[in-house]
Amino acid sequence: AVTTGPGSELLGVPNITWGFGFYLSVALLTVLVFGVGPGIREWVQGVRTGLLTGGVLYAAYLTYLQVGPIGAFCILCLVSAVLATFLFGTQIALFVTSSSSVESPMPTRLVKRQIALFIYFAAAAVVLAGAGFVYVDGGQASSKAAPAAAAHESIPDQCELEAKDPVAENGASLVSFQDITKGSGESGVTVVEYFDPNCPHCKDFHQVMKKLVKAHSEEVRFVYKPFPLRQSSLPEIQALYVAAQSGKFSEMLDAQYARQNRSGISMSDLRAIASEIGMDSDVLSEKVDQNAHRDQVLKQRKRAVKIGVDSTPTVLVNGYFVKTRTPECMNTFIEQAKAGTLGGSASK
């Protein structure tokens, strides 16, 4: 959603931070109304109106992202949008009521309305924003915990699939001509990995994938599908597609993992990588700056969310979501797929 995927930041600042700052500012301006004179009070209310107007427009922008490019909804964000709209409407109502009063001091009734409406809802909104931090951190922790649990399975001889509906047609519908692939589909087995180059657990699983490709490249098709968790990953992902066009995908991905940074690596780093692996750094930066693959990446992400991809790495073998991603279990699932028996838990 807009808390973790593309569009999760504006001007380099996370949406959650913007939301927290917005509601805190509304609360502070509301408190300030009671400590200033009538002239300054009108100015403060004007600033608050402008802030609420911006909040409504920003909420509309986030709603557009959820409905359009991302294709996934964040309940917290939608509740926040409703709350921002309510506060805006309340401010307009207060202006109308204030303009009808001839008293210079703030009327007692308006004071009560200010306290009962703005302070209460602004405080509730701050709690919502704080819950947003828990929501994001919890989602990331879940993403981190799944690979760790798979790697340290309490029952070492048990290989498990996720309790999600498998993708139809053995996952063949997931693969397109634009995908980055390795190996051969001769055996009818396809392994798909959704990854983010800034995801630490993807970096760990990459070593497993390299072993699998080496062992099964003559019979199994391996498909690499970048899945940006944050907007900062988009330049790196686009660089991967540019590198793939020059036959340098593996080299580019290895180098990106070597320089991995949760906030993303810089364009100067991407240019340096290009030079190191024998690519034209100017061509690379030009194509990345032109967002040559951005739409492709976002459409792929939107489709992935619809089939149940919600973290990275996510791995599918013939359309089945894999839970236990150890080398041994991955080999087991591949062999079962070749035999046509994949579809449940399996002993190594």
Spatial distance between the Cα atoms of 256 and 195, rounded to a whole number of angstroms: 13
Q: Pick the closest to residue 303 from 128, 178, 134 (CA basis).
A: 178
Q: According to the model, what pLDDT value does residue 119 have? A: 56
Residue % of the chain over a pLDDT of 90: 48
Helix-helix angle 234-245:249-258, to 10 degrees: 150
Q: According to the model, what pLDDT value does residue 225 have? A: 98
Q: According to the model, what pLDDT value does residue 63 have? A: 79
Q: Which CATH number fits domain 155-347: 3.40.30.10, 3.40.50.300, 3.50.50.60, 2.30.30.280?
A: 3.40.30.10
223 compared with 17, residue with greater pLDDT: 223
Q: Pick the closest to residue 44 from 118, 126, 124, 130 (CA basis).
A: 118
Q: Are 73 and 2 in contact (CB under 8 A)?
A: no
Question: Which amino acid would we find at residue 112?
Answer: K
Q: Pick the closest to residue 80 from 136, 35, 22 (CA basis).
A: 22
pTM attached to this predicted model: 0.60
The listed range with the strongest mean pLDDT (27-41, 67-81, 155-169, 325-339) is 325-339
Helix-helix angle 327-339:200-216, to 10 degrees: 50
| pLDDT per residue as tens digits for the range 151-164 | 343 334 589 999 99
| pLDDT per residue as tens digits for the range 272-290 | 999 999 999 999 999 999 9
Q: According to the model, what pLDDT value does residue 147 have? A: 44
DSSP output for 30-61? HHHHTTS-HHHHHHHHHHHHHHHHHHHHHHHH
Spatial distance between the Cα atoms of 70 and 220, rounded to a whole number of angstroms: 31
